[in-house]
Structure 1
Amino acid sequence: MVITIEIRKIYKYPFDRVVDMHLNKYPTPLEEHVRGIETVEEKKDHISGIVYRKRIATCNNVLPGILRKVHLMNVDNVYLEEESWLDLKKRTMNIKSRCLTWTQYATLQEVSVFKESSANPNWTEFFQKGSVTVTGVGRLNRLFEVFAQSFFSRGVKKSVHIMETILEQKFGRPCS
Structure 2
Amino acid sequence: MVANAHFTKYPSDKEKFVKKLELKEVQEDSKQWTTYRRSIAHCLNPIPGILRRIPVLNEPAILLEEESWLNCREKELSLKSKNLTWETYASLREQSVFRPHAENPDWTVMAQEGIIDIHGIGPFGRVIEMFAETFLYAGIRRGFAIMEDRLMEMKDTNSFEDNLNKKEVVSTKAAPPQIVFPSLSDFHLILFC
Does TM, scored on the shorter chain, surpass 0.5? yes
* CA RMSD in angstroms, aligned pairs only: 1.4
* Equivalent in the alignment of 1:42: 26
Structure of greater relative contact order (alpha carbons < 8 Å, 6+ residues apart): 1
For 1:104, which of 63, 73, 88 is the aligned residue? 88
Worse-matched range after superposition: 84-93 or 152-161: 152-161
Distance 1:68-1:149 versus aligned 2 partners, 3 A rule: same
Unaligned runs of 5+ in 1: 1-16
Per the TM alignment, residue 174 of structure 1 is displaced from its structure 2 partner at its CA by: 4.1
Length, aligned pairs only: 160
Distance 1:34 1:175 in 2: 26
Distance 1:136 1:169 in 2: 45
Aligned-partner residue type, residue 69 of structure 1 = R
Tell me the percent identity.
38
8 Å CA contact retained: 2:66, 2:82: yes
SS at match of 2:50: helix
8 Å CA contact retained: 2:14, 2:142: no
Distance 2:33 2:10 in 1: 25
SS at match of 1:65: coil
Per the TM alignment, residue 166 of structure 1 is displaced from its structure 2 partner at its CA by: 2.4
SS at match of 2:149: helix
TM-score, normalised by the number of residues in structure 1 = 0.86
For 1:137, which of 95, 110, 121 is the aligned residue? 121
Aligned-partner residue type, residue 18 of structure 1 = V
* Equivalent in the alignment of 2:52: 68
* Equivalent in the alignment of 1:156: 140
Per the TM alignment, residue 119 of structure 1 is displaced from its structure 2 partner at its CA by: 1.9
TM-score, normalised by the number of residues in structure 2 = 0.79
Unaligned runs of 5+ in 2: 156-171, 179-193
For each residue in 1:39-90, what CA deviation from the matched residue of structure 2 results, as whole angstroms up to 9, or x when unmatched?
A: 1000112321210110100010010011111111111110000001110001
Query: Which contiguous aligned blocks of 4+ residues in structure 1 show a shift greater than 3 angstroms?
Result: 172-176
* Equivalent in the alignment of 1:57: 41
* Equivalent in the alignment of 1:91: 75
Per the TM alignment, residue 168 of structure 1 is displaced from its structure 2 partner at its CA by: 2.2
* Equivalent in the alignment of 1:80: 64
8 Å CA contact retained: 2:90, 2:119: yes
Distance 1:166 1:19 in 2: 10
